[in-house]
Each structure stands twice: as structure tokens, then as C-alpha cells.
Amino acid sequence: MLRELVMRLAVFLVTLLLVLSFVALGQGVQSSSSSATVQPASISSGETVISGCLSGNPDSYRLTEANGTFHLLMDVNGVLGSHVGDQVQLSGYRDSNRDASASSDEGTPHGMRFFSVESVVSDSGRCNKR
């Protein structure tokens, strides 16, 4: 009788360990799948978040919002390269001191908005092709 009780307890403990392992593994999978979303510790006061499709290269990144508004991006921290072609949210600061019609920005369409990127808030995958 004691032997049977010990066996049942052992089976129960092994089953419990397996269930807990699967639960922990499931949480690990959720964590790794959500790692595609980059979250900064916090967004500083005065920072703005913009969303859209990221395109370009290190010399000229550009974000296109859903409404068609374009932002010429200044990649301050070198965080944009791995997100080209993705739908992203970016935090940073609008650069109102630059005028797209100024000679230093020659060749840039007038009305282009400049945005200094501090971090990628989220990356929700590839941009939708229209």
C-alpha cells in the first residue's frame, strides 16, 4: 500500500513537472515572437510617435504614413536599417528648423517633413503592397 502511494505521488509529480514545463515553454514562445516588437524603456517628454511604412537606405530613410504624408528620417541611433520595408512606429522629434526648400535640402520635395528618429517603438511586419 505504501509502495502504491509512493508510485502515485511520483506519477503526479512527473505530470505536474511536465505541465509546468509546457506552460513555461509556451510563455517562452510568446516572448520570442513578441521580440519583433521593439519597445523603448519610455518615450521622453516632447517626443512624438509617427507610424507608417519605412523605405530607403542609410543615406535617405523615409516613412510614409497611411494618409500619404512623407517624413524624411534622420537615423540618430542607427536603428532603422533592419526595419526597411516594415510597418513601424518611430519615436523622436520633428525637425521644424529645416526647410525642404532651403538650398541645403535641394532636390527634396517642398513640404517634406523631417523627423529625427530616437527609437523604433514597434515593428508590425512587412508593409502592405497596394
Domain range annotation of the chain: 2-35, 39-126
Span 27-56, pLDDT tens digits: 544 433 333 444 444 556 678 899 999 999
**41 torsion bin: left (phi>0), alpha (psi -120 to 50), beta (else):** alpha
pLDDT for 33 equals: 38
Residue 85 · residue 55 · CB < 8 Å: yes
Q: Mind listing the pLDDT tens digit for each residue in 73-86?
A: 988 888 999 999 99
pTM of the model: 0.56
**Fold entry, domain 39-126:** OB fold (Dihydrolipoamide Acetyltransferase, E2P) (2.40.50)
The answer to whether 91 and 77 are in contact (CB under 8 A) is no
CA distance 36 to 130: 24
